[in-house]
Chain A
Amino acid sequence: MIKIDNLHTSINGKEILKGLNLEVKAGEVHAIMGPNGAGKSTLASVLAGREEYEITDGNVTFDGKDLLELSTEDRAREGLFLAFQYPVEIPGVSNVNFLRTALNEKREYLGQDPISAKDFMQMVRDKSKIVELDSKLANRSVNEGFSGGEKKRNEIFQMAMLEPKLAILDETDSGLDIDALRIVATGVTKLKSEDNATIVITHYQRLLDYIVPDYVHVLYNGRIVKTGPKELALELEEKGYDWIKAEFGE
């Protein structure tokens, strides 16, 4: 699905990712954990196409295509989805208008006909159930006046609507109470299939109680320094990152 090979990126002359390697196959869930400043959010941003980051070395292949050559919108149309750590409020733009535009631009890119208004509304009703999102929120402006939990649920709702091949959840669990966490995580699990893949970036092990990963990676100082089964997350929760820092610190 995605293969990241020796990825180096910097921002304002400071190198953040220093030779990151990662391969995710269809049907897999990968968790990326690590201390603050390790480069977790940078990885998400670079994959989504944020232009502030300079790619100094390395390759990313997404479903056979050179991801780094694609614009942000084309990455999304190819099936990459980033659930934002801080979803943006967009006054005056309704959720449904936004999603219909997104869906139809994706369909046009893939050479498909636009979705009919009727099918679209049915889809909104069905998919909003997955994250227990009040369908009234669909008619409101994107994220405007949403609570923290509603914003994150709205991210997963968008994911459900756009049906990505690869979803990257950037600290989607941060700041959620346990109910919201359960709803968000259950939503993600429901959307999981043999054909798609998920990268979960998180600080907290508790999310992984709900979204069970096949692999846990530790990102530290711009590289993945350790990979293990889901039990690794428990070990990190218990012992913190000092032992990682001691082992891999410079």
Chain B
Amino acid sequence: MEETKKFHERITTDGYTLVLPQGLRKKSFEILNETAFPTTKTEAWKYTRTTRISNGTFQLVKPEINSVSDYLIEGLQGNVLVFVNGFYQAELSIIKDTKGLLVSPLTETTQEWINAHSNQQVQLEGEVFNALNTAFTTDGVSIEIAKNAIIKEPIQLIYVTTGTAVLSSVRNIIVANENSDATIVMGYYGERADSNFTNVVTEIKVKQNASLSIHKIQHENNTNFHINTETVSQDRDSRFSLSTSTFSGAIVRNNVYVHVDGENAETNLYGLYLTDEKQLVDNHTVIDHKVPNCNSNELYKGVLDGQSTGVFNGKVFVREQAQKINAFQSNGNVLLSDNASMNSKPELEIYADDVKCSHGSTTGQIDEEAIFYLRARGISEKSAKSLMINGFVGEVVEQISNEIIREHITKLMAKKLGYSFE
């Protein structure tokens, strides 16, 4: 398509090395030239306009920043990798020799490893943002957790975007081998950033009986565009949890695809979004149950203020062979303003006959009667609202089992909502 071709030709790469295999990149450019940006007529993008991205002119810029102390989670002792505008910043990163853990930027990962693990399940055909990511990725992380390795300290990945009209194109590849256990925090932040576009694809493989928890924090500036795609595949007896906490960003779109390929696997997806101004936060999830005896659980909650818009679309497929599946999905929203809106669409597509599945969605205003009740006990209106909002989204935060990460996210939540907790 002409528009997409022009879009990618406008991106100035300034001679930076692009890391994904040449053949894949070539294929991605071919796809880009044939694929239009999604419009609101595209079912999966019904509520999310991408014209502000497609009309933009972006550039790859490798800057330096002096410090990431604002983004580091205090109390975590593990590896820290910092990427600024999609480029690895070695001097701000802390690589520790950790038994059973291989972690490095893609630019320092062997081509064999990248070839072996990249684009295992990333759909390129018809997917502009995945193809763009594949064509323009400058860096990202490669993580491989060895068989039987228990990585106690969470790995922190910090992605900062800075400058104006900058494209950050990041690819992360995570492989959790058999019986391993690890936790990863991925934080996306904006620093003096204006109209930047961050486009991330993370590929995740959770092998037999492995446990992997990923916590995503989205905190870029409110003029930034952020598209974030995870493709996950789970083998038998594995456990995978993903939490997505979105605080800022002009447009934030999360695409989560989980392929449950092995029996007795457990999948947990949690989401929390606090929006204001003209933000748009769109969470699309797909859990594909292909085999029997698995559990999946999805809980997304949002508080929307100002003129912001929220979108939740959660799809669960239960294939014909996939008997004895328990799949639960729930989305709850509170609108704090008359001009905020929420579009929620939980979907179950079930082809098996012996399954337990449920989904629910609620959107409402804050209960004024409850506010009065709290005030009648001497609690100010502001504290009353805080208590109620915290009570509402607290259910999501409570699912984060690592206490340090949970407290960090609680603090960000309090800051965004303008109150503090003890």
Contact = CB atoms under 8 A, between A and B. Distances in A.
Interface of A: 48-50, 71-73, 75-77, 82, 84, 87-93, 97-99, 101-103, 105-106, 109, 141, 158, 162
Interface string B372-411: 1111111111010001101110110000000000000000
Contacts of B376: 48-49, 72-73, 75-76, 82, 84
Contact of B370 (A82, A88, A106): A88
A11 to B, nearest CB: 15
Best-surrounded residue of A77, A88, A162 (most CB of chain B within 10 A) = A88
Contact of A90 (B383, B388, B395): B388
19 contacts: A72-B376, A73-B378, A75-B376, A76-B375, A82-B376, A84-B373, A88-B372, A89-B370, A90-B374, A91-B392, A92-B391, A92-B392, A93-B387, A98-B374, A102-B374, A103-B378, A106-B378, A158-B377, A162-B378
B391 A72 contact: no
A69 B394 CA distance: 35
Interface residues of B, number: 21
B392 A98 contact: no
Given A72-B375, A101-B383, A109-B378, 5 more contacts: A73-B380, A90-B374, A101-B379, A105-B383, A141-B391
B2 interface: no
Contact of A92 (B369, B381, B394): B394
Nearest to A100: B422
Nearest to A109: B378
Contact of B391 (A49, A50, A91): A91
B367 interface: yes
A71 B367 CA distance: 19
Best-surrounded residue of B372, B376, B378, B391 (most CB of chain A within 10 A) = B378
Contacts, number: 73
Best-surrounded residue of B376, B387, B388 (most CB of chain A within 10 A) = B376
A73 B373 contact: no
Contacts of B379: 73, 98, 101-102, 105
A77 B378 contact: yes
A76 B387 contact: no
Contacts of A75: 376
Interface string B349-385: 0000000000000000001011011111111110100
Contacts of A92: 388, 390-392, 394-395
Contacts of A90: 367, 370, 373-374, 387-388, 391
Contacts of B375: 49, 71-73, 76
B378 A76 contact: yes
A103 B378 CA distance: 8
B162 to A, nearest CB: 37
Contact of A98 (B367, B381, B387): B387
